[in-house]
Amino acid sequence: MSAYTQATGIAEALRDWRERQRVSQLELALRAGTTQRYVSFIERGRSLPGRGMVVRLAEALDVPLRERNALLLAAGYAPAYPQRALDDPELDPIRAALERILEGHLPYPAVITDIGGDLVSANLAFEALVGGVAPGLLEPPANLARLLLHPDGLATRILNLDEWGRHVLDAMRRKQQRNPGADLDALLEELEPLVPRRPREPSPRHLGFAVPLQLSSPDGALELLTTLTHFATTVDVTISELTLEAFIPGDAATAAHFTSASG
């Protein structure tokens, strides 16, 4: 790869990320400890930054690790962040810790998903929650959004599918924008027609501070809130792309339902 090709590649990639994050050249320069003039030279292909500067600029833009490696490759450098398979023995302590977290969240559902939203692991409460869905939706790689929004999944049990489903799709679009490698376009195209139009007004049924997942059950309506946890300090691509999604009860009746089910 010639120096011109390297300079051109990093110029386009850096400018794309900066504009995507809506950060000015001056702000990026201040974050990365350099000058606006130097950032401008890089983006115009007039300067080829060193490997350390590429990493600093990527960190300043909060670029995901997979895409940081892509920036380094565009500049002609080797990737800096390893990407191990999740079953790599070196990741045994991480996997064990994640399983303990899932188990510790019982009696409420919790799952771990990868960058595309596919299930990596789930606790027994989540497995019970999706019991009865079409078997094909549970075949690996089972996708969480598809499980929730597909009519053969939980969609027919979701009482506020219009409002809550739109939140799911919006979150997927934001994830796709931030993580081009997630490749969520096909999934979004599949799920979009399955979700009713966004309501014009917020539902009076929401909790005031969050939109719950409202499900029908033999015990009546259930309300679950979701919390997302990401592993921000990791330097491994695979671990950095995992998400822990935990469901917590939005009211006492829902808490009692899951507590009773676990007994």
> What are the chain's domains?
3-74 (1.10.260.40), 89-262 (3.30.450.180)
- In the block, residue with structure tokens 């053969």: 152
Of 197, 196, 191, nearest to 152 by C-alpha is: 191
Cβ atoms of 226 and 210 closer than 8 Å? no
Cβ atoms of 228 and 113 closer than 8 Å? no
- In the block, residue with structure tokens 């191990």: 84
Cβ atoms of 165 and 149 closer than 8 Å? yes
What value does the CA radius of gyration of the chain take, rounded to a whole number of Å?
Answer: 22
pLDDT of residue 4: 59
Of 53, 47, 85, nearest to 68 by C-alpha is: 53
Of 125, 140, 115, 70, nearest to 243 by C-alpha is: 115
pLDDT of residue 250: 92
CB atoms within 10 A of CB 122: 20
pLDDT of residue 200: 62
Q: What residue ranges of the chain have pLDDT lower than 70?
A: 1-7, 199-209
pLDDT of residue 202: 59
